[in-house]
Structures are given as C-alpha cells and as structure tokens.
Amino acid sequence: MKIFIDTAKLEEIKQAYSLGILDGVTTNPSLIKKTVDELKAKGEKVDMESYIKEILTLAKGTPVSLEVIGTSHQDMVKEGKRLYEKFNPVASNVYIKIPVNPALDDKSEAAFDGIKAVKELSDAGIPVNCTLIFTPEQALLAAKAGAKFVSPFAGRVDDFIRTNHNISFEKTDYFPAEGTKKEEKLLEDNGVVSGVDLIAQISEVFNVHDITETEVLAASIRSARQAREAALSGADIATLPFDVIRELLMHSKTIEGMNKFVGDVVEEYSELVK
C-alpha cells in the first residue's frame, strides 16, 4: 500500500518526504485553511501560489491532489483546468480533486455535476482524485467516469454511524472494522458497518469487476490501526495525517527494548562499532 500525507503544511510534508517512504500528498480546502490560519497567527504573509509550488517541488515524482472549490460542473471543470495548467508544469504531479457529488442539499440539481466534471477532466487527460466517497456505488461511478483515485472517507463513516446512534466519541477513538452493536443490533449506514468496511467493499467491487485503472485511496484515517485495517482491506493508498505516520512507528515495547539495548552496551562492543 502506498502512503500519502494528508496535509497542506510544508514542514510536515518536508519531514515526511525526508523519510524516503512517502508516495504522495493530498490537500483539501479545510487543510489549506488550517495551514493558512496557522501561518497568519504567526504573523506570516501567505503567498499561496509559491506555497503550492513549493509543495509540488518537494513531492516531485509523486502525486499531489489539489481540490476545486466550485459546486457546479462548469466551475469545477474551469477550476480543475486552471489549477492543472498553472501548477502541473512545476513538477508534473498534479491530480485534481473533485467531489463525487457537489450538491449542498438532497434536492439540488447539482447531484450529477461531480461525475460530469470527473469525466470531462479525465477525458482531457487530467488525472482526477474523486473525493467525499461514502458508498461503493459512488466509487463505481467515479471509476466509470475515469477517476484515477477514489477517496472513501473512512473516519467520517465511523463518525456518521456513531452520531446517528447517539454514541459519544472523540475524533481519534477506535471504531472496529467489523462494526459495533447497540442493543444487539449491528449498526450500519445502508449496509456499510464501518469506514474500513467501506474501503473493503469498494476494493471488492473493483476486484469483482476488474477495475484496474482506478486506485482506492483510503482517506480520513485517524489512527495507525485504521491505516493497517485499510491496508488489509485492499486499499491501494492510504493518506495519513502527519501524526498518524508517526504513530505507525510506535510501540511501547519497542521503546522499552531500545532502552535495554542502550543500557546493555559494553565498552568492548562500543569501541568496535563507533
């Protein structure tokens, strides 16, 4: 499974790339807001264009997703092309992120606009990451429209199931991949029992139907365990916040073992090694 970093923070991207294990970057308007707010709070001026160019240069050779902000087919296509034309020449690694359905309410006519935009941009040779996926069928349509990545939001599925059943939780609380029961009943969202289950179902649909041109990019991952479960469920990629990448390396017995090794070094061995 490839690992992307889910952030717009340059420092985090720099540090993660220095490990030599990173395969890409994903951003979205909320992550960009978080970064801009932080920079402004430090009194720094933000030159967004140079900032994004720096991210692209750092990530050279690996994909960087930049999201549109429009909610109509025309706006998303216009913005997607604009972003691609402006930024892809920097390092040839821009993917355009398009919401699968940009409607702001159930009745909106915009329901088809995401898929239309995915299709038009893909047909124009622009790689698309289709985002805000919450059902296998959304992922299927995005793949049919030519998306290179589909992004199921695993953590938010878990949030949705817990909220709908009045279960209180913190954003990073573990939610079992196999779902959870309340009053003996398995909780679900229209047949999806957890965010990891959504990833598994999408992977299965893609396998059964031999969909090979679209990769499953597990997003909204809040813990190392969820990242592991995404890998076990067939995700091709997981995009992880910086802290989750760090958490992938954590185990108290590793730390305990290190302390023991460091404490047990004898001079004779040390002289040889140093």
Which positions touch ligand G3P (CB under 6 A)?
6, 26, 28, 31, 153, 155-156, 219-220, 222, 239
Closer of 201 and 239 to ligand G3P (Cβ)? 239
- On whether the CB atoms of residues 58 and 17 are closer than 8 A, the answer is yes
- Residue 182 per-residue DSSP state: E
Q: How far is the CB of 263 from ligand G3P (least distance, A)?
A: 39
Distance, in Å, from the CA atom of 192 to the CA atom of 188, rounded to the nearest integer, reads 5
Q: Nearer Cβ to ligand G3P, position 76 or 219?
A: 219
Closer to ligand G3P at the Cβ: 214 or 239?
Answer: 239
Q: Which is nearer to ligand G3P, 80 or 152 (CB)?
A: 152
Pairing of strands 64-67, 237-240: unpaired
CB atoms under 10 Å from CB of 49, counted, come to 10
Q: Which residue has the tokens 């949030």?
A: 159
Q: In Å, what is the CA distance from 109 to each residue of 71, 72, 88?
A: 11, 9, 31
CB of 159 to ligand G3P, least distance (A): 7
Report the nearest approach of ligand G3P to the CB of residue 231 (Å): 16
Q: Where are the beta strands (DSSP E) in the chain?
A: 2-6, 24-26, 64-67, 94-99, 128-133, 149-152, 181-182, 185-186, 215-218, 237-240
Which listed residue (97, 116, 182, 253) is catalytic?
Answer: 97
Shortest Cβ 156–ligand G3P spacing (Å)? 5
97 is catalytic: yes
Rounded CA separation 274/266 (Å): 12
Instruction: Kindly list the catalytic residues.
Output: 97
